Amino acid sequence: MAAALLTDEPLVLRRVPHLRDIATLAEILGQLGVEVARDGDTLTLRVVTEEPDTAPYDLVATMRASICVLGPLLAKRGRARVSMPGGCVFGVRPIDLHEKGLNLLGAGLKINGGYLEGRPGRLRGAEVYLGSSFGSSVTGTANVLMGASLAEGRTVIENAALEPEVADLARCLNAMGARISGIDSHRLVIDGVERLHGTEHTVIPDRIEVGTYLVAGAITAGDVTVCEAERSHLLAVIERLEMAGAKVSASGRDIRVIGPARPEAVDVTTLPFPGFPTDLQAQFMALASVARGISVITERIYPDRFMHLPELARLGARVRKEGPQAIVQGTETLSGAPIMASDLRASAALVLAGLVAQGETLVRRVYHIDRGYERIDEKLRALGADIERGQE
């Protein structure tokens, strides 16, 4: 969606879910002169004015990924004023790689009153290394990639993120006229062009949503088939599910999971793609809570991403945190209780735990879950869950 800022022509995106984050970014783009129209699962985005350059705090503060408008604004309009981002709160999540990469392209970014400001004129190609102690940055790679697409000369991004979402963006940009090579590798080479044009692009399946429903099938001893999925994006997740005793099979674009009577304990370490995704760590902790044996869950991306841990404990999970690890002693039964969601993926994990807890589980603050899951209550109900949505 942010790439629509790079062209004067319409960008048509297909398979776009109805999510709160989509609506938020549409509102931010509207503030930046982009007309956004929806028809079913298709979005058409078209710049109607390039005059605005400010992405305001009240919108950006609700969604971290909205920082991705920074690169396109600098590249196309030569100026940007973007609020420092917000989103889910689970420890330090710096945007230093965004700043570093764009500054190497000549952005001249400075923080002023809580806003990142830059007025570089046209960006210039450069060699950019996007490494950190926690690995490469997905949104950082995306921001620099979009900025470099219209920069003067060649940009080489070393240690670019390998996540499928980065490759999907690169292919969309190429369809718009960008010259990007090295897609699906840690080294992206971008030869800047004078202008980009519009295109039509079909978005890849959401591997985190797919993984969440696969875990739902495994934790409930269920039989769940997720349609229109991409197995190659979930190999690490599928391996851990199979180690937990689930049977996982694929047929075309469908993935089927048959859960065991009771899962086996399994260790998980989150890593950048193609490793186990941090966005499925909380869901796997719910699975480990009812597994047979002790599981060790190690968080290498966001070491403080364990805010769901005390809420799982309220359901009877035996889990403790030791530094960047959670030690989970599986218990045969959980007991329903009122619990509170702290972030998007924690919300999903608590709902999964509630599916297998005895009695009623009341999950509060589920507005988080609507940011990244379309109608999750309806989909789970269609699978046989006894789940209802109420007003807070």
Give the full edge-to-edge strand order of the sheet including 54-55: 54-55, 80-83, 115-118, 110-112
Identity at 3, one-letter amino acid code:
A
Cα 33 from Cα 304, distance rounded (Å): 37
Cα–Cα–Cα angle for 90, 94, 98, nearest 5°? 140
φ, ψ for residue 175 (rounded to 5)? -65, -20
- Our CA dihedral for 215, 220, 221, 224, rounded to 10 degrees, sits at -50
Strands 199-202 and 11-14: parallel
Is residue 68 part of the annotated active site? The answer reads no
Percent helix, strand and coil across the chain, each rounded to 5?
Answer: 35, 25, 40
**Out of 68, 88, 172, 227, which one is annotated catalytic?**
88
User: 103: how many CB neighbours lie within 10 A of its CB?
Assistant: 16
Catalytic residues: 88
